Structure 1
Amino acid sequence: MLIRIDPTSAVPLGDQVAASVRRAIADGQVVAGEKLPPAREVAESLGINLHTVLRGYQRLRDEGLVDLRRGRGAVLTSAATSGQARIAERAAELVDLARSMGLGEQDVLGLVRSAFQQG
């Protein structure tokens, strides 16, 4: 699996790492049970800090897409093959768009709540 970042983007690098993995999940390039590349290797290949990659992996863990275990690495969970990965990717895109437009978290949450109520 190839993780890509854009160093010229305003999006934090850790978020870009997570987004790259989400994209690979949504595209079917990786499946549940598959191991992500070791954070150290990703950091070296991208020329970024190890902790930046780990932040991206931790974000994926917080979303339920990755299981992080010492000595075992980062393994995709069964949630990674469900629609949850696609929703997480779209949510990240929504947050990026909202930030670029100057909207805050509460503004976006209000819009999402409104969409649920209308739907």
Structure 2
Amino acid sequence: MLIRIDQASKATLATQIADQIRAGISNGSVKIGDRLPPARDLALALDVNMHTVLRAFSRLRDEGLVEMRQGRGAWIRREASSVTPHLAALAQQLMTESRRLGLTRSDVIQLLERI
């Protein structure tokens, strides 16, 4: 799993880390049961504070995507497989409502890019 930090981004470092892990789960590059790198190792590789990585992992845990055990690490939970269908359903609702309002696909993309 490759995580990149964008120092120019308005998103916090923890948010960037969590977003990239979440995206990996959604696109299948991170699989159910995969262990995440130890927070200390990931922090060193990204040149960020270990607590920043732990904050990202904690967010994912709170979302039900990651299981964490002190001294045993963090891994992707089986329940994380429900993320993609959930997001697909939300995307479908967005497109249905957008069409009802007369918006095009490119209008929706532009709107999402502004968010």
The reply to whether TM is greater than 0.5 is yes
Contact 1:57–1:66 (CA under 8 A) maintained in structure 2:
yes
Which structure is richer in relative contact order (CA contacts within 8 A, separation 6 or more)?
Answer: 1
Indicate conservation of the 8 Å contact 2:38/2:74, yes or no: yes
Bigger radius of gyration? 2
Give the C-alpha shift of residue 83 in structure 1. Answer: 2.8
Gaps (5+ residues) in structure 2? 92-111
SS at structure 1 position matched to 2:75: strand
- Offset at residue 33 of structure 1 (A): 1.1
TM-score (norm 2): 0.71
Q: Alpha carbons of 1:19 and 1:33: their partners in 2 closer, same or farther (altered >3 Å)?
A: same
The Cα of 1:84 is off from its aligned counterpart by 5.3
| TM-aligned CA deviation for residue 82 of structure 1 | 2.1
Residue segments in structure 1 that go unaligned for 5+ positions in a row: 98-119
Q: Aligned-pair RMSD on alpha carbons?
A: 2.1
- Structure 2 counterpart of 1:67: 67
TM-score, normalised to structure 1's length?
0.69
**4+ residue stretches of structure 1 with deviation over 6 A?**
none
Partner of 2:78: 78
